[in-house]
């Protein structure tokens, strides 16, 4: 993924210098931040290069242009997050008894929530995903990066509740993902709307609230 023209068994290829790898990584991180803040069209490769301390030309050189860079930014974290989620799902299923609905939903939601609570780059990534999901231009990315994992979780829930309507489960799952993403895009709004209470919206509490909310909503869909 990080070597454009890599070959399964390259006969002879010079190692990439440490500095070049840093440049690539700095560009990816800066792009993630700026794309998340301003959107694909609002973030220019000039600003990204500048924020990364790199040359404008290095973006085309290392990543093959703006669009390819955007896809790499999304793919990098998506594959990591998918792995964490599927691992958590597998762990939940190793116990002898049937897993509880809450455990399955938590296996999907918690890996992201834990990352987002500790690393601002993951928060930026979620804003990016919200953009990707909302923009028809990036549907292909969604299908490739997100839908397989989402499908696995929906199938598992359907297996736990054989009598439930599968479409209703998928609908509730999409609602749950939307609620999850709103934590990164609308945290400011939660704080504004609950100003009276005074609490400054602690991330751990928000995470628990999200899992409770989604589980209750999913149960309502299953018992439809």
Partner DNA sequence: GTCTATATGTAGATAGAC
Partner DNA sequence: GTCTATCTACATATAGAC
* 58 is an interface residue for DNA by CB under 7 A: yes
| Contact with a copy of itself (CB under 8 A) among 13, 139, 144, 159 | 139
* 109 is an interface residue for a copy of itself by CB under 8 A: no
- What is d(CA 38, CA 36) in angstroms, rounded to the nearest whole number? 6
* 168 is an interface residue for a copy of itself by CB under 8 A: yes
Per-residue string for binding with a copy of itself, 69-108, x by CB under 8 A? Answer: ----------------------------------------
* 204 is an interface residue for a copy of itself by CB under 8 A: no
| Contact with a copy of itself (CB under 8 A) among 3, 87, 119, 135 | 135
Which residue shows structure tokens 């440049």? 23
| Contact with a copy of itself (CB under 8 A) among 16, 57, 91, 216 | 216
Q: CB under 8 Å to 121, separation ≥6 — which residues?
A: 29, 32, 33
* 56 is an interface residue for DNA by CB under 7 A: yes
* Cα distances (Å, whole numbers) of residue 150 to 31, 63, 81: 26, 28, 12
* 147 is an interface residue for DNA by CB under 7 A: no
Q: What is the DSSP string of 15-67?
A: PPPHHHHHHHHHHHHHHHHHHHHHHHHHS-HHHHHHHHT--HHHHHHHHSSHH
- What is d(CA 185, CA 164) in angstroms, rounded to the nearest whole number? 32
* 13 is an interface residue for a copy of itself by CB under 8 A: no
- Report the partner that residue 14 touches, choosing among DNA, a copy of itself, none (CB closer than 5 to 8 A by kind): DNA
Yes or no: say if 1 and 75 are a contact pair by the CB < 8 Å rule.
yes
């Amino acid at each position: 993924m990080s070597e454009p023209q890599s070959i399964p068994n390259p006969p002879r290829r010079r190692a990439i210098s440490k500095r070049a790898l840093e440049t690539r990584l700095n560009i990816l991180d800066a792009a993630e931040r700026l794309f998340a803040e301003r959107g694909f069209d609002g973030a220019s490769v000039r600003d990204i290069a500048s924020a990364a301390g790199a040359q404008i030309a290095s973006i085309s050189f290392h990543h093959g242009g703006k669009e390819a860079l955007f896809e790499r930014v999304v793919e990098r974290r998506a594959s990591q997050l998918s792995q964490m989620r599927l691992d958590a799902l597998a762990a939940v299923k190793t116990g002898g008894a049937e897993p509880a609905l809450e455990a399955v939903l938590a296996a999907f939601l918690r890996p992201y929530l834990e990352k987002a609570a500790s690393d601002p780059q993951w928060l930026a990534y979620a804003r990016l995903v919200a953009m990707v999901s909302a923009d028809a231009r990036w549907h292909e990315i969604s299908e490739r990066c997100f839908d397989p994992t989402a499908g696995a979780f929906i199938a598992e829930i359907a297996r736990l509740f054989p009598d439930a309507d599968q479409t209703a489960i998928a609908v509730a799952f999409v609602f749950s993902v939307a609620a999850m993403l709103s934590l990164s895009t609308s945290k400011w709004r939660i704080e504004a709307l609950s100003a009276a209470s005074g609490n400054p919206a602690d991330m751990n509490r928000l995470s628990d609230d999200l899992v409770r909310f989604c589980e209750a909503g999913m149960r309502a869909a299953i018992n439809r």
